[in-house]
Amino acid sequence: MLICCLLFTNKLLAEQVYQSTTNFVRHAFAGELPQAKTLWLNKAQKTTIADILQHKYHRLRIRYWLQGDASVWVLDEIGKESPITVGLHVKAQRLQQVKVLVYRESRGDEVKADFFTDQFIDAQLSKDLQLDTHIDGITGATLSVRALTKLARMALWLDQQVAVTSEQ
């Protein structure tokens, strides 16, 4: 029982909540909180997401917020062992903000710092689904850097999907 308690406590200590989803969305939309929407994923979309993430994507739907030409996505990706929850604000198909909302790894949390996340500002998605901006890594946080980069690509691609759907 003592071992179980120690393992559970260790997990709780590793989880750092930096901002709530609601506060991130409000900040992105200048204090407003638009109604959450749901993007139901078809097979082709799940395949593209799997290509971006480099692993199978099991979710059927993704929640997002939309206002004009801006969207907000709160997505998770595994760093080394645990999910990193990231808020991504896209406007006019460019990243406006990337923020780590919850970090659950025992190391590599430097990816939450502005010096790192500011590199994503104004990044766009190229035709081959890569960022058009080079993102410098952080020694000791390689897997966390990769996770945030994948999520940035995914949010930009999802924003394109939502833009196409709303035009129809």
> Nearest Cα to 153, choosing from 61, 18, 49?
49
CA distance 14 to 5: 14
Domain count for the chain: 1
Residue 2's pLDDT is: 55
Contact 97, 25 (CB under 8 A): no
- Name 126's Cβ contacts closer than 8 Å, sequence gap at least 6: 132
CA distance 130 to 47: 16
Residue span of the structural domain in which 14 resides = 2-167
Q: What is the pLDDT of residues 74-112, one digit of tens each?
A: 999 999 999 999 999 999 999 999 999 999 999 999 999
Residue 158's pLDDT is: 98
- Which regions in the chain score pLDDT beneath 70? 1-13, 165-168
Burial label for 37, CB within 10 Å (0-12, 13-18, 19+), is middle
Contact 78, 57 (CB under 8 A): no
Residue 14's pLDDT is: 72
Percent of the chain with pLDDT over 90: 86
pTM, full prediction:
0.90
Percent of the chain with pLDDT over 70: 90
For 53, how many CA atoms within 13 A lie in the half-sphere containing its CB? 21
| Paired residues of 125 in beta bridges | 131
